[in-house]
Amino acid sequence: MSIQKRVLVTGAGGFIGHHLVRRLKADGHWVRGVDIKYPEYEASAADEFEIQDLRKADCCLLATRGGMDQVFNLAADMGGIGYITANHADISRNNILINAHMLEAGRQNGAKRFLFSSSACVYNQAKQKDPDVKPLTEADAYPADPEPGYGWEKLFAEELCRYYYKDYRFETRIVRFHNVYGPLGTYDGGKEKAPAAISRKVALAENGGEIEIWGDGEQTRSFMYVDDCVEGLIRIMASDCRDALNLGTDELVTINGLVDMVSAAAGKRLKKTHNLTGPQGVRGRNSDNSLLRSVVGWEPSIRLEQGLAITYKWIESEVRKSPKYAAQLRGLATV
């Protein structure tokens, strides 16, 4: 068994952070969770859970107090493509403040290691114009032309992590997430990612009915199940690599294909309608895991079909017990 560590997880009220806290506790560590909100669907497993606004420097100092062995900085203002394309100023401001204050607070309070959660949105948009996209290596972030707002602030925070090691020898790790999905994640309200949004739409559709997709549905992505994400985070934190690392799968799928997978999990046959005015992001994005494999000797392995079946079952259950959708579900029952 590993030696118990004192670990801070920011963003612990969110999807990935909540799953990470559960895993760290299962591994025998002492965990403090911090977020601006509590977990939505179940209580946190953290030893301490504190509500803090990490845009404020004093809150970051409180969060990092007590000599942390590891800080997983997952706190961020973020959401799906509709949200991040509509809120450039708010997202950029909020996340720049969180990341700068958390790095400095971690350094001041003597944290031993600090992991920053970046994003595949940092990648040069010119390299993502083909649905049959070449998997993106970590070097493809430069020359810089990331997603406006969210991508730029993530790329800057990566540089800030490097500066903190160069100037202060503060040990930082950088992980670039590629589309994480799974149970206990946001599935409505505007901040949900594609697998969750599609699962909700399929759950609310009658068999033989139709669902709307943003774009023509031929845009491509890779998606990583949350258990693989958590495993990767723990391995990257333990590694000696201070450079950015992709954390995703290289199982490329079109959004139309993603809909077909979710529909199959639901046992439904559905017609797709395409909203060509809806935001759809880059045309194609996939993860090259060569560097991750060489650094940690591992890569995500849970197949999309397997993970989607679990995720759909959970979202369908949530939708069915939500008063918000009761009338819509009653309408389906009478069709």
Q: What is the pLDDT of residues 49-107, one digit of tens each?
A: 999 999 999 999 999 999 999 999 999 999 888 999 999 999 999 999 999 999 999 99
Bond before 143 cis per omega within 30 degrees: yes
Q: What is the pLDDT of residues 78-94, one digit of tens each?
A: 988 899 999 999 999 99
Radius of gyration of the chain (CA): 20
Q: Evaluate if residue 45 carries a pLDDT over 60.
A: yes
Q: Evaluate if residue 21 carries a pLDDT over 80.
A: yes
pLDDT band at 281 (very low <50, low <70, confident <90, very high): confident
Kindly state the average pLDDT of the residues 182-209: 95
What span, in angstroms and rounded, lies between the C-alpha atoms of 192 and 117? 18
Catalytic residue IDs: 150
For residue 82 the two structure tokens come to 């509709």
For residues 335 and 183, the model is more confident at: 183
Q: Which of 131, 126, 129, 128 is nearest to 144 (CA)?
A: 126
For residue 133 the two structure tokens come to 């996209």
What span, in angstroms and rounded, lies between the C-alpha atoms of 156 and 158? 5
Q: The dihedral of CA 272, 278, 284, 285: what is its sign?
A: negative
CB 80 within 8 A of CB 36: no
CB 25 within 8 A of CB 31: yes
Per-residue H/E/C for 84-120: HHHCHHHHHHHHHHHHHHHHHHHHHCCCCEEEEEEEH
Which residues have a Cβ under 8 Å from the Cβ of 210 and sit 6 or more positions away? 270, 271, 272, 273
Check residue 10 and give its pLDDT.
Answer: 98
Q: What percent of the chain has pLDDT over 70?
A: 99
pLDDT band at 291 (very low <50, low <70, confident <90, very high): very high
pLDDT band at 330 (very low <50, low <70, confident <90, very high): confident
pLDDT band at 333 (very low <50, low <70, confident <90, very high): low
Check residue 1 and give its pLDDT.
Answer: 52
Residue type, 255: I
For residue 259 the two structure tokens come to 């809909």
H-helix or E-strand containing 300?
none
Per-residue H/E/C for 241-279: CCCEEEECCCCEEEHHHHHHHHHHHHCCCCEEEEECCCC
Q: Evaluate if residue 245 carries a pLDDT over 70.
A: yes
Q: What is the pLDDT of residues 230-240, one digit of tens each?
A: 999 999 999 99
Per mean pLDDT, which range of 140-149, 188-197, 258-267 is the poorest? 188-197
To the nearest 10°, report the CA torsion of 41, 80, 270, 319.
Answer: 20
For residues 238 and 278, the model is more confident at: 238
What span, in angstroms and rounded, lies between the C-alpha atoms of 194 and 211? 13
CB 119 within 8 A of CB 177: yes
Q: Evaluate if residue 334 carries a pLDDT over 70.
A: no
Q: What residue ranges define each of the domains in the chain, with the CATH number in brackets? A: 6-180+224-247 (3.40.50.720), 182-221+251-287+303-324 (3.90.25.10)
Q: Evaluate if residue 213 carries a pLDDT over 60.
A: yes
Q: What is the pLDDT of residues 124-157, one digit of tens each?
A: 999 999 999 999 999 999 999 999 999 999 999 9
* Average pLDDT score, the chain: 96
Q: Read off the DSSP letter of residue 12.
A: T
Q: What percent of the chain has pLDDT over 90?
A: 92
Alpha helix segments (H runs only) across 193-239: 194-203, 226-238
Check residue 230 and give its pLDDT.
Answer: 98
